[in-house]
Structure 1
Amino acid sequence: MKRLFKLGSALLLISVLLAACGGGGGNAGEGSGGEQSGEKVKLTVWHNFAGDDLRAKTVRNIIEKFGQDHPEIELDAQAIPVDGYRQRLSTVAAANEMPDVFLVYAGSQSQEFYDAGLLQPITELGEQYPEWKNNFMEGAFDPFEFEEGQFYSAPLAMSATSFLYYNSDLFEKHNVKVPATWDELMAAIKTFNDNGITPIALGNKAPWVAQSTILGSIADRVTGTEWFKKAAAQDGASFTDPEFVEALGYFKQLSDAKAFQEGANSIDNTQAEQYFIQGNAAMMISGAWTLTNLAASATEEQMEPIDVTVLPSIPNGKGEANTITGGAGAGLALSAKAEGAVKDAALQLIYAVSGPDAQKAIAESNSMIMYKAEVDESKVTSLYYKAFNLAQTVGITPVYDAYLSAEAAEVINNGLQEIMMGGDPAAVGKKLQEAQARSKAE
């Protein structure tokens, strides 16, 4: 990567000559003004770390410190609330007026921006800092590698969605084994029900929850990852195939066995977290967001008995057992328009926010990362520390709605609610297949 500035006399002489020739013009977005005139480089940054949670504060502090450490850069950093961020970014993308650096979501959004020619790779950062690049977990760059040998962002988070949280005190009190197989899980559900304890807390009012936290993990154990990717691509597999209907059948088993509390489809995920942490449920299947939420709302005493593992294996399943659903989270991307000094400054910022020190700081804000870091146990909750160490040892499998069309994701989300109310798994599979087929025919 080029050096941002060279303050020797040769550059000063060149700057004078260029100015005399009219070469000192241009705006900061074109990367020419700061480099040629000696003025500050103007760098615009958009992100959605606008909240009061520890992770948002941590990332904002990293960006602020970068500005302080680089007085030669005029940093315009905008923190846009999460709810409106995606729409704001889509609006400027449509007008081809992207900021120099911006947070981009892994999956369809980053793919769309790449297809529209709005991104340029940051591969040279990996070449400059190979130890940093090699320290990311397997698959971290997959959603951002749109061309072989090139990557367009470095994730700041791991989207882990299917941890099995459990209350070890309740398991010990009722002499229940932490389930490693499906039969053990069903036995645990029966025992807790017999003793008046909800087996699994679930808040599925927003119906993505059951799909993201439970179905994807169960289904991958039944079908295997490659089958799902083929079905999502509508290339040699169908959601009407027996293995997928079988996977939906396992979800129905949970519902029929009264694994979830009464009214699970009418309470939200936050309410379910509180129900669980207060000792009303023995287990909860949820994502890394629960770690952050409980860090802010629960006492250490409440979290002390909570442990974390993966969902149990499925008999005769084609998928791996020691896995969680998830993948790379969002990362900072570089505008295709950034050139010269602006590009150099942008790359420095991207490294500052995604480099080893930043990854460690983000992890110590009780947020999961796709980077191998040593976390100071004293700086995080006991539950986060357990989950962080677990995540370093498991495989990562796809979250369904990251691969399905928007219509198909809505169909499976609603279909799981239907199954919980007595619906037929085969009928849900058929509707999902029709929706995904339509998306691929368009």
Structure 2
Amino acid sequence: MKIKIKIKMKKLFCLLLALIMTSTVMTGCGTQSDDEKKNEKETVRVALWGSQLLENYTQYLCDTFPEVEFEFTLATNSTDYYRYLNDHDDLPDIMTVRRFSLKDAVLLKDFLYDFCDTELASTFYGTYLENYTYDDGTINLLPACADVDSIIINETLFKEHNIDIPTDYDSFIAACEAFEKLGIKGFSSDFGDDYTCMEVLQGFSISQLLSMEGREWRQKYESGLTNQLSEEVWMPVFEKFFDMKEKTGIGKAEVEMINQDPKKLYLAGKLAMYRGTGADAIGFSGREGDHSILLPYFEEDEKDNWYLTYPSFQVAASKKAMEDPEKEKLLLRIMEAMLNQEGQSCISYGKNMIPYNRDVDLELLPELDNIKPYIDQNKMYIRLASSEMFSISQNVVQRILLGELNTPKEAFDAFNVLMTENDTSDDVVAHINTAYSNKFTTEHGNLAASAVYNTVLSEADVDLVFGQSCYISNDVYEGDYTEKDLGYLINNDVGKPVIAHLTGEQIFKLVENTLSLKGNRGVCCNDSTLYVSSGFEMNISRTESGYSLNSLTVGGEKMDQNAEFSVLLCSDYDWYVVDAMKAVGCEDYKIDDVHFEEYVFKRLIEKGGQLEEPSDYITLQ
């Protein structure tokens, strides 16, 4: 009898144990962690060339592909940045870059997917696709819609003073001279910026660069077959620039100008014409009530006028990521969405861009109506924009304007000398002992971003640091670093951060407002674009519309609402910081004198130290 009772008790115990285990398993299934839910989705890493794409584009991709867990980072705008990632076997699935030439990308050719036989490539006009095709037919990158770059003129100012609107180079010079007599600058631009030096040099000689000899030279240059300018092609380019310099009076003052400077003169009615884009023609149209138009770069004959263009970005894919047929299909679908009508409309929301592909029709604002005939004739020159073209054009053009180079031959020779020089150093300047992942997890947040921001906090004379995680562009790799490669760790869009003095209450509002942003370059569209806090901790909840802030703590204690803190903000100044400060009622802020990456350089290079350890800065519910 006792034996039977024991057996029954044993069976009952086993049954209860089984029920408990089953219940535990079922409970576990019902409370999947956020990271486990993410793992059910296909992860796709996308490197964004700049913060502009955070505004609407990333949200569009997330909405279009809910089955995908996107990991967004802000990449340094350079194909060499992807060389650096490839050296660490860490290429993103999809890459974007704005500054591009085949010459710069050739080292990546064997590691990038070839679009040549895809339906996606077939949607582009052959005229433009030539600029992306290697001698063997390989196509590794495809362009998104283009910014149009040319000469912006204040049509109202011309009419006020009865000056004829230019139609060719001679009438352009005549207009400049007429305005000068009235005490108004005829033409000026921001030759302190490398892109203006390069674009004006090329823009006024597009017909020369598109001659048969010019096309042949460019093909050789892009393929790496020459590292010298052709005298036949380029001497007339420098002759034209010297002539324009003499007749328009541009010089030292223009060398000292950067982006906003000529626009301020233009808005005040003190400047009649400047180099700019379609967006500039709309956003900086002159005095109140003035009307501006974007005219082409002027040649000797009106029929030879052209507009200069450059894609808002180029897109590429990792060949390694495409080895899986199912992943290949998915990535092609994503890139098709990036480059289709809806995708490019998210880029050209200002209605100031033109497409390079046949099946996309982007609306243009009336200010840009005069571009349409040139679009129909495909008279849209894609700039030659290798990294050295930017830097050498800036060097040579500025020396011309400063009077240091006095003849076209001197300028031509100086350009060629610089093309043979290697201005980069392979010297190791730092060694990082500990690697950190750039992947966001609910348990630890973004370890790489936290380590970098904590380092900035320790080097800057501030109490707190607050910045978007995606500005830390990649994993922190263990090993040796050159100065250039160390710079790639931090996206160059950060530039100079801002120091603000805020109360605890204002900081709460700042974080709260930031999490709820829509249509702004500081927007959080998913976990990979959340912010990192250093010196304080955030407790955040996911909501149907995004994220909401629950509480802030300092060292685990609730942040004092009345206490005052100095805060270093790392984000886009014009498109995030100014609005963010206005929203919290802060007027006490300024741009920091030190570039963001300089704090990291100071710790790792000057002091020979290491990055600070990451902290548990976020609780995500």
Whether these two folds match at TM > 0.5 is: yes
Q: Which moved more, 1:188-197 or 1:302-311?
A: 302-311
Q: Which residue of 1 aligns with 2:57?
A: 59
Q: Which residue of 2 aligns with 1:245?
A: 235
CA distance in 2, matches of 1:240, 1:155: 27
Name stretches of at least 5 consecutive residues in structure 2 with no aligned partner: 1-38, 423-621
* Count of paired positions: 372
CA distance in 1, matches of 2:172, 2:280: 26
Q: Which residue of 1 aligns with 2:264?
A: 274
CA distance in 1, matches of 2:356, 2:57: 16
Relative contact order (C-alpha < 8 Å, sep 6+): which is higher? 1
1:366 and 1:343, CA in 2 relative to 1: closer, same or farther beyond 3 A?
A: same
CA distance in 2, matches of 1:222, 1:168: 28
1:393 and 1:363, CA in 2 relative to 1: closer, same or farther beyond 3 A?
A: farther
Q: Which residue of 1 aligns with 2:73?
A: 79
Q: Is the 8 A contact 1:225 1:397 kept in 2?
A: no
Alignment of 1:20-419 (within 5 A): 40-51=41-52, 56-68=54-66, 71=67, 73=68, 75-80=69-74, 82=76, 89-105=82-98, 106-107=100-101, 108-114=103-109, 117-123=110-116, 125-126=118-119, 133-134=122-123, 136-146=124-134, 150-158=138-146, 160-161=148-149, 163-212=150-199, 214-222=200-208, 224-231=210-217, 233=220, 239=229, 241=231, 244-260=234-250, 263-286=253-276, 288=277, 291-292=278-279, 298=284, 302=288, 305-314=291-300, 321-338=304-321, 339-368=324-353, 369-372=355-358, 373-376=360-363, 381-384=365-368, 387=371, 390-397=374-381, 399-402=383-386, 406=388, 410-419=391-400
Q: Is the 8 A contact 1:144 1:153 kept in 2?
A: yes
Runs of 4+ in 1 over 6 A off after TM superposition: 234-238
CA distance in 2, matches of 1:104, 1:113: 13
Q: Which moved more, 1:305-314 or 1:381-390?
A: 381-390
1:277 and 1:201, CA in 2 relative to 1: closer, same or farther beyond 3 A?
A: farther
Give 1 or 2: higher strand fraction.
Answer: 2
| Larger radius of gyration between Structure 1 and Structure 2 | 2
1:358 and 1:226, CA in 2 relative to 1: closer, same or farther beyond 3 A?
A: same
Please give the secondary structure, in 2, of the residue aligned with 1:77.
strand
Letter in 2 for 1:284: Y
CA distance in 1, matches of 2:265, 2:254: 11
Name stretches of at least 5 consecutive residues in structure 1 with no aligned partner: 1-37
Q: Is the 8 A contact 2:267 2:285 kept in 1?
A: no
CA distance in 2, matches of 1:375, 1:301: 28
Give deviations 1:90-119, integer Å, cap 9, x for gaps. Answer: 3321122212222245413433211xx211
Q: Is the 8 A contact 1:326 1:399 kept in 2?
A: yes
Letter in 2 for 1:371: N
Q: TM-score, normalised by structure 1?
A: 0.72
Q: Is the 8 A contact 1:153 1:332 kept in 2?
A: yes
Please give the secondary structure, in 2, of the residue aligned with 1:285.
strand
1:261 to partner: Cα distance: 7.7
The sequence identity of aligned pairs, in percent, is 12
Q: Is the 8 A contact 2:75 2:81 kept in 1?
A: no
Please give the secondary structure, in 2, of the residue aligned with 1:46.
strand
CA distance in 1, matches of 2:42, 2:227: 52
1:197 to partner: Cα distance: 0.9
CA distance in 2, matches of 1:43, 1:401: 29
Q: Is the 8 A contact 2:228 2:419 kept in 1?
A: no
CA distance in 2, matches of 1:66, 1:294: 32
Q: Is the 8 A contact 1:223 1:243 kept in 2?
A: yes
Query: How big is the alpha-carbon RMSD for the aligned residues of Structure 1 and Structure 2?
Result: 3.5
1:46 to partner: Cα distance: 2.0
